[in-house]
Amino acid sequence: MTKASAAPGGRSTGLGEPVSARPRNPRGQGSRLREDIIRAATAMIERTGSDQSVTLRSVAREIGISAPSIYAHFEDRDAIVEAVVLEAIAQLHESVASAVAAHDDPVEGLLAGCAAYVDFGTREPARYHVLFDWARPKPESAGHDLSRTRGLNAFQTLVDNLDACVRAGRSTSADPFGDAVALWTALHGQVSLRASLPDFPWPPANTVEQMVFRLGHITSG
């Protein structure tokens, strides 16, 4: 049997892998370790551009703990990635909703919200990519319901905003939901393609405004 290696300070990974000693959290602050795990996984995804770099061992090395310590907060590496995804969804939603709320005019709000979406995707390419490329939890799992609900809530902001344009007489859309899907598809396509083909002669950034006016059936007013 292989003897578990000891880390500096006498700690052992139990997996034959040394780690740097990490100060124990004060009593009542065990949740900080969970946050540290999510931060570490997020940093790894940002560095590598993929969630495949996230494993129990790699996260443990990142923050200087033993890999088995993670089980008190996450059952496996997929649960860690899921937490990163849920946090990214929440931040994207907050960015878009805040941009929309900053404007009284519904069209200006729609433009600002869509611009915030593209800005998040281009500013956080790895975190944005993992939103769509991660291995989603099984339909019967609690994580599936939570991620689906948060994702739908974020999308509903776009639907409600476009509907507000219709009610204000600023859009001729007869199907705000369907047109919001088309607009979201276009925004996602722009973020993804710009990330994949940075050397392509892309038009100016005001293409977001063009997409909003065309796909949202915005009228002058």
Is pLDDT at 106 greater than 90 in this prediction?
yes
pLDDT for 13 equals 39
Going from the N-terminus, what domains does the chain have, and what CATH number goes with each? 31-72 (1.10.10), 82-215 (1.10.357.10)
Give residue 221's pLDDT band: very low, low, confident or very high (50, 70, 90): low
* Percentage of the chain lying above the pLDDT 90 cut: 59
Residue 10 parent element (H or E): none
**Which of helix, strand or coil describes residue 128?**
helix
Of the chain, the percentage scoring pLDDT greater than 70 comes to: 78
Q: Give yes or no for residue 9 having a pLDDT over 50.
A: no
* Whether the predicted pLDDT of 141 surpasses 70: no
Q: Residue 138: what pLDDT?
A: 57
Mean pLDDT of 16-23: 45
State in Å, rounded, how far the first CA of the chain is from the last one.
Answer: 77
Beta carbons within 8 Å of 23's beta carbon, 6+ residues apart: none
The residue among 142 and 102 whose pLDDT is bigger is 102
The pLDDT score that the predictor gives to residue 31 is: 74
Mean pLDDT, the chain, whole residue set: 83
> Would you place residue 14 in the very low, low, confident or very high pLDDT band (cuts 50, 70, 90)?
very low
Longest dimension (CA), the chain: 77
Report the b/e string of 98-121 with b at 16+ CB within 10 A. ebbeeeeebbebbbbbbbbbbbbb
pTM, whole model, 2 decimals? 0.79
pLDDT value of position 134: 77
Q: Is the pLDDT of residue 4 over 70?
A: no
| 8-state DSSP, 16 | S
Pick the most confident of 37-41, 49-53, 138-142, 154-158. 37-41
Q: What is the DSSP letter of 188?
A: H
**50 exposed, middle or buried (CB, 10 Å; 0-12, 13-18, 19+)?**
middle
pLDDT, position 169 = 96
Alpha-carbon distance values, 186 to 39, 79, 100, 150 (Å): 30, 30, 19, 21
Residue 34 has pLDDT above 50, yes or no: yes
186, amino acid identity: A
Position with higher pLDDT, 144 vs 183: 183
**DSSP string computed for 28-59:** T-THHHHHHHHHHHHHHHHHHSSGGG--HHHH
Q: Is it the case that residue 154 has pLDDT exceeding 90?
A: no
**Cα distance between residue 138 and residue 120, in whole Å:** 27
User: 126 pLDDT exceeds 60?
Assistant: yes
